[in-house]
Structure formats: C-alpha cells, structure tokens
Chains A and B, each alone.
Chain A
Amino acid sequence: MIFTEPRFLVFFLLVFGVHWALRTNAARKRWLAGVSLAFYGAWDWRFLGLMLASSAIDYVAALRIEAVRTPRARRGWLVLSLVSNLGILGFFKYYNFFAGSAASFLRWLGLPASDPTLAILLPVGISFYTFQALSYTIDVYRGKLAPVRSALDFVLFIAFFPQLVAGPIVRATEFLPQLEAKRVFARVDVRAALTLFLIGFVKKGLVSDHVAPVIEPVFAEPGAYTAASTWIALFLYHVQIYCDFSGYSDMAIATAGLLGYTLPKNFDFPFFARNISAFWQRWHISLSTWFRDYFYFALGGSKGSSLKGMLIGSLTMMVVGLWHGAGWQYLGFGVLMSGSIIVSRTWALVVPEGSLLRRAVAFLGIPLMWWFLFWNWILFRSAGWESAWEMQRIFFFLQDGGTKGLEASWLLLVAGFFAVHYAFYRGWFRRLASVNDWFFAAATGAAAAACLVFVATETKAFIYFQF
C-alpha cells in the first residue's frame, strides 16, 4: 500500500478517525499497533512474524541489559541483539548476493560451483526497522534510555506505520517518550501536516512516478541512447530520486503528525549542498546520523588522528553504500562516497582556507556536487554492473551509445522543479502560511483534487522500499 494510492487515503481516514475517537492512550496505542501490523501485512503477511520475532528479541534483550549486574552479561545481551538483528538482515538482504558472488568467484577459479538455489525474498522495510531496533538496544546499553516495559509500546515503536517501510529511521529516544502521554488533537498542527502531505504527494505521485517510465529504458539499455539523452536521464533521475524519497518522508512525517506524533526530519535541500559532508547532513539525515552515532563514533572516528578519522569515515561510507542494497553497484556507490570523504578531508588539510583555489571550488560547489552525484546515480540506479559501466563510459566521454533519444524538453521539467525547489529553499512561500483558515481550507481542497487528477496512473513502489 503506497501513500499515493487512493486505498491508503481510505485506510488513513479510518485510522485517523478511530484514533482520535478513542478515549484512552492505551486504546489508541493498541489501535495504532494493530493497523500498523495490518499495513505491513498489506505487502506480505509472512514477514510479520519475522518483524515481531526480531522485536521480541530486542525487547527482552533491553530488559535484560538493565536487569543484569555484570558488564559482561550486559555486553552478552547487547551482542545477542546485534547478532540477531544483523543476522536476520544479512540473511534476507545479502544471502543471494554473497552466495551468488562466491559461486561466480569459484567458477572464475575454475572450480565447479552452481548458483545458489535458495531464492530469498527481501522483507520490505527490513533495513529500516532493524536499524531502529538496534538504536534502541544500543541506547539502553549506553545508559541513554531506560528499557520500555510495555511490549505494546515497543511494537508500536518498531511498527508505527508511517515510518515502518522506508523511514525516517526513528530513534527510540525520540519516539518512546511520545508514547507515554496521551496525544492531544488541539496540539496537532493540521495545516502544516496537510501541507506537508500534499507536498510529498506532489513529489512522489506527480513528479517521480511520471519521470520513472521515461528514464527506465535509458538505464535498462544505455548503449542504445545518445550521450545527450544519457545526461537528460541523469538530470531526471536526480529529480526523481529526491522526489521519491523525500516525498515519502514528507508524507510519513505528515501522517504521523496528524496522529499526534513527531518524526525526525529526513531531508534538508540536499541538492544545494556544496560538498559531500554537507550533502550527507541534508540527505537521508536519519540514516547518516544513525551511522555517525552508532558506527563512526563507535569505531572512534571522532577521536584520534585526522588519518584515523578519515579512514573510519571512509569505511562508514562504504557500509552506507552496502546498506542500500546487495550488489556490486552499491558497493561501487559506497567506494565512490568513501573516496569522496578521503578527497574532501585531504582537500581541507592541504588547501589553505581562503585560498583562491578553495574559493574557486566553493564557487563551483553545487555543479561539482551534481556532477559527482550523477556519477553515483549511475551506480545506484543501474540494473547491473555491465549497464553501469556502459553508462559511465557515455557519461565521461560523451560518446553516443546509440541513436535513441529523449526529448530535450524534459529539461524544462527539471528546470521548473528546481525553480520551485529554490523558492522553497529561500523560504519565498513562507508567507503563504499566514493565509486565513478559510482560504487554506479551500486551497487545500482544490490542491487535493489536482493531486488526484494529475497523479501518475502507474504507481511505482518507492525506490527506498527495496532497501
């Protein structure tokens, strides 16, 4: 069930109505946990058991971490949580990749090996809820959080449907306290939530889903297209991936907001970043901060020499790349990001601040970042290593792969999108927030109608669902 599907709107109206009609906090939480599990089961009910089992392990592990006295026992329960979560994630997400790669490697060595016969399905949202659960047990272990006693609260924290399948990755410290007090409708900023939902809907249903079928053939068969078309496809994918993922986050934050809960911000105009560090501070913020707090810091990246920080930072980016998917192209994406960390850190050390060179590069920061991101998108979006390789060749050397072409007029859409995006970035629409409620109600009604009419009829799953 995708947020832009009409049946989600029906589902949400039901959830919203019953949620606010219930009188006690406990009843509301039971209702939300139930509908969240139903929402997850709308994809595949068979994986509900997996999610609940992994939640049960974390729930018990956290309670035991608090209960046991010795550091060793505490560590043991933490390790159990880490191993079980990462084990499940590793098996479902990476088994096919590693087993297939191992078989290929053995064949390359001339040894007999067949491809794995065990085809593992990837449970939707597993990377997101696993990281959420890990943050909980780690925070309890670090003493930042008391373990939650209510199993219902814990299930709702893991399964809360707005963020369940594609984030934002919510920390237990951010969400569990919200479950303690009864939500008050009078404190819900309905206008902001509705506006955010509509913005997310436009990004996903009116931009991303319309762009997707245009660029799919180019990424599927890059060798058949001209170099200009490849670049147009990359510009379009640049817009698409942002609209797809940030649109999902917007709608997730808005739906949670309408139910009285606050989710963390996940995007902050990342395409206006002028360097790689700034980009990751603005793109998929909940993931990058998760890796910063639970991986980079845990490995001591913030302590010690610059070289050590650089290497750990580089390793972090490699893992971020693999988090996105099991495939050589994701590893390649991680390597590129990782290399960019080394280059940017070295640059900061070597080139003096205020120098002409630095100012020149800072001036060209946004185009350079876009160029670098385009390169990453090729790896990120390509179906496999071969098509990625072919597309990179066209991207770098501007050689036509074939004669097929995309209309240059698609760049108008890109330009139009960035014009509006820039206006949001500069806050030019902020004054619209002060319109009176009557005007807002009428405008929202008309905008909602326009969204439904102009939504793409072929609803594509959110790109980040596959992660």
Chain B
Amino acid sequence: MLDPAPSSAALQPKVYRPRALGAVARVLVGLGTFVAALVAFRAVAAPPGGSVIGGKSEYWRAHGHEYDTVFLGSSHVFRAFVPAEFERAAAQFGLEARAFNFGVQAVHLLEQRHLLRQILADRPGLARVFFEYQWLTPQIDPANAFNPRTVYWHDADTTRLAVARARHWGAELGDGLAYVESAAERHSVFTLAERLLPADLRIAQGHLQHHLTDLAGIGRGKEVLRGLLGRASGQTARYRAQHGYLSLEEDERELAARGETRNSYRARRERFLAEQDAYHAGIDRLDAEAQVFGDGDWVDGSLTRVDDLELMQGLAREVAAAGVELVLVILPSQSANRPFEERLMEELGALVLRYNLPERYPALYDPELRWDSGHLSAEGALYFSRLLARDYCAQRGTARDGAPRHEPAEAQQ
C-alpha cells in the first residue's frame, strides 16, 4: 500500500448515443430474454420447497399412482402415521388401502392447502385424503420470510387466498391481528413507513412479495440444477422404504451417526422428560377447558392463531369436487377449541376424527407412547395408525367391533 496505487480506472465514460426507438427496442429484447429465461428455469426445476418438501413431492410425482390414501400434515403426522400399519389394520376392517404419509415438518395451513392441491393435481384418482387440522396464522414469521419454505407455496391462488384471509381477519380482529416485525429491521425507515399501514395490508403486501419471489423463481438455483442434471434429491429410497413415514427414533439414530450436535429432537425429548408435571397439567386442562393452546404444539407465540371455518369449508368443497374424500383429523395434540371442533363436525361437510381427547384416548397421551409433548413415539405411531384405521372404517361402515389394543412394540413385530 505504501507505493502509489494504480490510477483510478473506474468506468470510463464514452459517448454513447443510441437512437431512442432503438434503445427502447433493445430494452424490450433484454426484458424478453429475462422473462423467457425465468420461464425456462422454472420449467426445468425440480419440485420446490427445499429438501424436505421437495424430496417428498419428488417421490409423490414419481410414485403417487401407487397410492389411494394420503395423510397430509405437519411433523405431528410425519411421526404419527405408519402407512403399513394403517393398511394392515384397515384390511382387518375390510378396507384395502395403499397409504402414503405426506407429513412434513412445520407445515402451516396455507402451505398444507397448497400441497393438497398439488397432490390432487398429480394424482386425480386418489380415494381419500386424511388432512391434519391446523389453525390459520395469517402472518408470516419474519424470521422465515425469505426461506424457500415460506416462498414456494405463494402461487397466485394461494396468495389470493392468503391476502383475502388476512383482510378478513384484519376486519374481524382489528388490533388483535398483530403484525410481526423483523427484529433486524425494527429501526429501518421502511418499517416506520410500514407501521402507517393497517396490519392486514402489511401482511397482504408480505404475501404479495412472496408471490413475486416465487413467480420469478428467485433462489431456486439448486432445484434448477437438480432438474437439469436429472438428479433426485436422494430422499426417494428413504420415502419408498416406509411410504413417507420416519419415526423420531430412527431420525435420532441417523443424526447421531452423522455426529449432528444441534439435534432439536433430542432437546425436545429431554425437555419433555424433565417437565412431566407440566405435561400432565396440560393434559388435565385439555379435559377440563373448552379452549387450550398448549405449549407442546409447534407455535410461534408472536403469530396470531385463528380457527377459520370458512377456509376449511372451502377446502372440503374443493376436495369433494375432485372426487376425493376428505377426512379432517385433529391429532392428539396439546391444543383444543371444543366449540369450534363441534362446529367443524357439524358444518364442514366432511368426516372429522378427533384425537385430542385424553379421556377417550388415554393411551395417546401416555408418556410411554410419546417422544415429546407434541409427537408420538414409534410405538405410539403404530397404535395411532391402527386406531385411525379402525375409526375411519367404523365411520364408513366397514369396521368390525373392537378397539385396537395397545400392545408392547415387541409383540407387534
């Protein structure tokens, strides 16, 4: 640095005088190839949503025709529904089914609806869809605002719906619909400007931004490369083996084998084991109170949670129009909204199966059958799958009498 630096050679301007029309034409050519390239990239890209959803979608695209039953939901489903066990139990009750577990970690309701539409589009001959009930969170968690998982489901239709529901709940809740700000941008002038808007409009503009990001395919490079190279996500074998299911115990073993230290599953399990009193108190509340939002379920406390009957009814109509049976399943979670659940059962227009009833299904809340307060263990998943098969068949009139027994894991082998 102590010798003279090379002379400044910043952009050396030169006189450049294209004629106006020619310049406009060249800009249009540039924009045209820009759009054409974006369309081409989108066309060749592998399924979006990152490795978790992309892998499952990829498998479904290739193998969806092998199944007539799908259970779609969050990690609560992913860890709770054992397709092979469901098939075995359903066969005992007179129903032949080929089931797939389409549970994906941390799926939100709108994302789940988007996936449902994809599933129906890829597999029009599906017989039934078990759909985990989830409340709606109209806001987007700012921490995940530009995560591919948040962006990919913002197609035109889902974005329109998200905006409409944000506007609806904005009118309904007023100040109750909090707008969640990005902590990193709390002191930005843009945040100051945004604060002048009502919460529903701010939420709506967030969804629109995501739609534009999705439309342009921003950040989908890995999927484009995978699509171009014809490489699978590497998850196919995993999903084929157990038809989409993977127990937390197996995941834990895989992570341990890889030397993964940041293991959130293990941390949740340890917390669950250490806080048994709180867990049992939560279960007591489920039996005693009409509305409970338990800590054990995945929830970002900053996001508003609403039970949206209109949205659920629209979904039921859509599935019925596709000639598929929708079965809404309320999983054995730590949350309940009894008045709303009863309205669902009466007004949804589809079968609703409830399992968040500790008094009725004590085994599902037995700590022995749970990995943590929100998820079932491998043994609990087997039990739940049999229970679901029995209840579904009973509702459809194919079941014989008798509830499945909870047997030790060794006896089920």
Whether B276 is near chain A, meaning CB under 8 Å from some CB there, is: no
Q: Are B221 and A45 in contact (CB under 8 A)?
A: no
- B-facing mask of A142-178, CB < 8 A → 1, else 0? 0000000000000000000000000000000010000
Kindly state the separation between the CA atoms of A277 and B15 in the bound complex, as whole angstroms.
36
User: Cβ of A265: which chain B residues have Cβ within 8 Å of it?
Assistant: 6, 8-10
Q: Are B14 and A262 in contact (CB under 8 A)?
A: no
Whether A51 is near chain B, meaning CB under 8 Å from some CB there, is: no
Kindly state the separation between the CA atoms of A301 and B3 in the bound complex, as whole angstroms.
11
User: Cβ of A45: which chain B residues have Cβ within 8 Å of it?
Assistant: 187-189, 192
Q: Are A189 and B12 in contact (CB under 8 A)?
A: yes
Query: Which of A196, A277, A458 is B3 in contact with, Cβ under 8 Å?
Result: A277
Q: Distance (Å) between the CB of B154 and the closest chain A CB? A: 14
- B-facing mask of A417-449, CB < 8 A → 1, else 0? 000000000000000000001101111111011
User: Cβ of A341: which chain B residues have Cβ within 8 Å of it?
Assistant: 2
Query: Which of B4, B10, B27, B218 is A264 in contact with, Cβ under 8 Å?
Result: B10
Q: Are A445 and B188 in contact (CB under 8 A)?
A: no
- B-facing mask of A194-226, CB < 8 A → 1, else 0? 001000000000100000000000000000000
DSSP majority for the A interface?
A: helix
- A-facing mask of B4-26, CB < 8 A → 1, else 0? 11101111111111100010001
Kindly state the separation between the CA atoms of A71 and B17 in the bound complex, as whole angstroms.
50
Which of the 9-residue segments B32-40, B125-133, B161-169, B357-365 touches chain A? B32-40
Between B17, B27, B190, the greatest number of chain A beta carbons within 10 A of the residue's beta carbon is seen for: B190
Whether B220 is near chain A, meaning CB under 8 Å from some CB there, is: yes
Whether B213 is near chain A, meaning CB under 8 Å from some CB there, is: yes
Q: Are A187 and B147 in contact (CB under 8 A)?
A: no
Chain B contact residue count (CB 8 A cutoff): 51
Whether B146 is near chain A, meaning CB under 8 Å from some CB there, is: yes
Kindly state the separation between the CA atoms of A441 and B25 in the bound complex, as whole angstroms.
9
Kindly state the separation between the CA atoms of A19 and B218 in the bound complex, as whole angstroms.
28
Query: Which of A277, A442, A452 is B29 in contact with, Cβ under 8 Å?
Result: A442
User: Cβ of B404: which chain A residues have Cβ within 8 Å of it?
Assistant: none
Q: Are B26 and A438 in contact (CB under 8 A)?
A: yes
Q: Are A189 and B13 in contact (CB under 8 A)?
A: yes
Nearest B-chain residue to A168, judged by Cβ: B10
User: Cβ of A444: which chain B residues have Cβ within 8 Å of it?
Assistant: 30, 33
Whether A247 is near chain B, meaning CB under 8 Å from some CB there, is: no
User: Cβ of A288: which chain B residues have Cβ within 8 Å of it?
Assistant: 1, 5
Kindly state the separation between the CA atoms of A316 and B13 in the bound complex, as whole angstroms.
34
Q: Are A437 and B8 in contact (CB under 8 A)?
A: no
Q: Distance (Å) between the CB of A18 and the closest chain B CB? A: 17
Nearest A-chain residue to B218, judged by Cβ: A452
Between A285, A446, A450, A455, the greatest number of chain B beta carbons within 10 A of the residue's beta carbon is seen for: A446
Kindly state the separation between the CA atoms of A65 and B4 in the bound complex, as whole angstroms.
28
Q: Distance (Å) between the CB of A217 and the closest chain B CB? A: 10
User: Cβ of A301: which chain B residues have Cβ within 8 Å of it?
Assistant: 2
Kindly state the separation between the CA atoms of A341 and B11 in the bound complex, as whole angstroms.
32
- Given A6-B218, A449-B41, A454-B221: A257 touches B10 (CB 8 Å cut-off): yes
User: Cβ of A450: which chain B residues have Cβ within 8 Å of it?
Assistant: 37, 41
Kindly state the separation between the CA atoms of A454 and B31 in the bound complex, as whole angstroms.
18
- Given A45-B187, A189-B16, A453-B219: A289 touches B33 (CB 8 Å cut-off): no
Kindly state the separation between the CA atoms of A109 and B29 in the bound complex, as whole angstroms.
71
Q: Are B1 and A262 in contact (CB under 8 A)?
A: no
Whether A77 is near chain B, meaning CB under 8 Å from some CB there, is: no
User: Cβ of A334: which chain B residues have Cβ within 8 Å of it?
Assistant: none
User: Cβ of B2: which chain A residues have Cβ within 8 Å of it?
Assistant: 277, 280, 292, 296, 301, 309, 313, 316, 341
Nearest A-chain residue to B12, judged by Cβ: A189
Query: Which of A42, A189, A445, A455 is B189 in contact with, Cβ under 8 Å?
Result: A42
Q: Are B5 and A196 in contact (CB under 8 A)?
A: no
Whether A456 is near chain B, meaning CB under 8 Å from some CB there, is: yes
Kindly state the separation between the CA atoms of A463 and B36 in the bound complex, as whole angstroms.
34
Whether B388 is near chain A, meaning CB under 8 Å from some CB there, is: no
- Given A43-B188, A438-B26: A446 touches B37 (CB 8 Å cut-off): yes
Q: Are B8 and A187 in contact (CB under 8 A)?
A: no
Q: Are B5 and A292 in contact (CB under 8 A)?
A: yes
Query: Which of A6, A38, A186, A263 is B10 in contact with, Cβ under 8 Å?
Result: A263
Query: Which of B3, B10, B148, B219 is A253 in contact with, Cβ under 8 Å?
Result: B10
Query: Which of A43, A190, A309 is B16 in contact with, Cβ under 8 Å?
Result: A190
Q: Distance (Å) between the CB of A43 and the closest chain B CB? A: 7
Kindly state the separation between the CA atoms of A446 and B18 in the bound complex, as whole angstroms.
22
15 A-B interface contacts by CB (under 8 A):
A42-B185, A45-B188, A186-B15, A187-B14, A187-B16, A191-B16, A263-B10, A282-B6, A289-B1, A316-B2, A437-B26, A438-B29, A445-B33, A453-B41, A453-B217
* Interchain residue pairs A-B with the least CB separation, the first 8: A280-B1, A454-B221, A445-B33, A288-B1, A449-B37, A41-B189, A457-B219, A445-B34
